[in-house]
Amino acid sequence: MTAQIIDGKAFAANVREKVAGHVARLKEEHGITPGLAVVLVGEDPASQVYVRSKGKQTVEVGMKSVEHKLDAETSESDLLALIDQLNNDDEIHGILVQLPLPKHLDEDLVINSINPAKDVDGFHISNVGLLSTGQKSMVPCTPLGCLMMLRDHHGNLSGLDAVVIGRSNIVGKPMAQLLLGDSCTVTIAHSRTKDIEDVVRRADIVVAAVGRPEMVPGDWIKPGATVIDVGINRIERDGKNKLVGDVDYASVSGVAGAITPVPGGVGPMTIACLLANTVTACARANGLAEPE
Ligand code: NDP
């Protein structure tokens, strides 16, 4: 069997097109331009690439993009003051603080200082609570992108066995909540899980969010299962730098029914969902109908 490739790049282009349509309507009918502020502290090279890409795509869909690049030594009080200013800025509907933050800054404190209505990453404790109780919230972008691709591929996820490998607050846990919300039977596996291969082999849906290059081999996968590979790992192979996921694409694509590639799978969907969340935040802030 050769797995169907779930084309995240094409899917994301479609999401961005819809977002651009909503942005145009907000401008024409209400004179409102959705605005996204991204805050980057320090010079982490991967974060710089993400922030550049987010800014570019924000502008491409017609939204206002504001970038705040702060020195790695920025104090917590200065960062909190900036967030307070953005919280009170009516032209800013979404605020994203790029993680990870330098060690001297308290990540939880910083994230929880963002106005939950502008927390387009969905990491604020209020949004985490709303999601886990099935209430309207801001949903973290990476898991939201995964869910959209799964819904598109399967139609209805009800009753399917899903295994999420990884239990981070930004991917694993919200992913599990979303799958549970769609009535999957959800198992979360992590570094202490016993006989992980047997756990994964039961799954109709596998979401790998581990951060270990090509950790999941084909013989862990139930034939025909759908595999969503969240991992982005930079490795060196044959003297070249390469991006690989958390699943071993070569062997897994021979067993799975469908698979997301790396690059070109989950990655592009994450930014597309960030843009979608910003439009949603803007619509809510102005008491307008939310985009679907
Ligand atoms: P974290 O490091 O925060 O979490 C990794 C999780 O994997 C932990 O829960 C850890 O378990 C688990 N884990 C580690 N080793 C093993 C193992 N041997 N077996 C089973 N589980 C294990 O990572 P993130 O969730 O932030 O990110 C995961 C991956 O997704 C990374 O490659 C990251 O780059 C990528 N990513 C991609 C995004 C995208 O847009 N495509 C966005 C965000 C992340 P434990 O809790 O027990 O330590």
Which tens digit of pLDDT belongs to each residue from 36-58? 999 999 999 989 999 999 999 99
232 in a labelled binding site: yes
Task: Assess whether pLDDT exceeds 90 at residue 77.
Answer: yes
116 contact partners, CB below 8 Å, separation of at least 6: 124, 126, 127, 138
The β-bridge partners of 206 are 163, 227
Burial (CB count <10 Å: 0-12, 13-18, 19+), residue 248: buried
Which tens digit of pLDDT belongs to each residue from 181-206? 999 999 999 999 999 999 999 999 99
Mean pLDDT value of segment 95-99: 97
Architecture category of domain 31-116 in CATH: 3-Layer(aba) Sandwich (3.40)
DSSP H or E run through 96 = strand 94-97
85 contact partners, CB below 8 Å, separation of at least 6: none
Does the predicted interface ipTM exceed a cut of 0.95? Answer: yes
Q: Which pLDDT value is given to residue 153?
A: 98
Task: Give 267 Cα–ligand 1 centroid separation in angstroms.
Answer: 14
Maximum CA extent, the chain: 57
Task: Assess whether pLDDT exceeds 90 at residue 1.
Answer: no
141-268 to CATH, choices 3.40.50.720, 1.20.120.1200, 3.30.300.30, 3.10.310.30: 3.40.50.720
Query: Contact, 235 vs 262, CB < 8 A?
Result: no
Task: Give 155 Cα–ligand 1 centroid separation in angstroms.
Answer: 27
Which tens digit of pLDDT belongs to each residue from 107-156? 999 999 999 999 999 999 999 999 999 999 999 999 999 999 999 999 99
Kindly report, as residue ranges, where domains of CATH 3.40.50.720 are found in the chain. Answer: 141-268
165 lines ligand 1 (CB under 6 A): yes
235 lines ligand 1 (CB under 6 A): no
Kindly report, as residue ranges, where domains of CATH 3.40.50.10860 are found in the chain. Answer: 31-116
Token duo for residue 53: 């890409």
The preferred substitution site among 51, 98, 165, 168 for testing ligand 1, maximizing ligand atoms within 8 Å of CB, is 168
Task: Assess whether pLDDT exceeds 90 at residue 292.
Answer: no
Query: Contact, 120 vs 279, CB < 8 A?
Result: no
167 in a labelled binding site: yes
- In 3D space, the residue among 167, 171, 163, 170 whose CA is nearest the CA of residue 227 turns out to be 163
Task: Assess whether pLDDT exceeds 80 at residue 90.
Answer: yes
69 lines ligand 1 (CB under 6 A): no
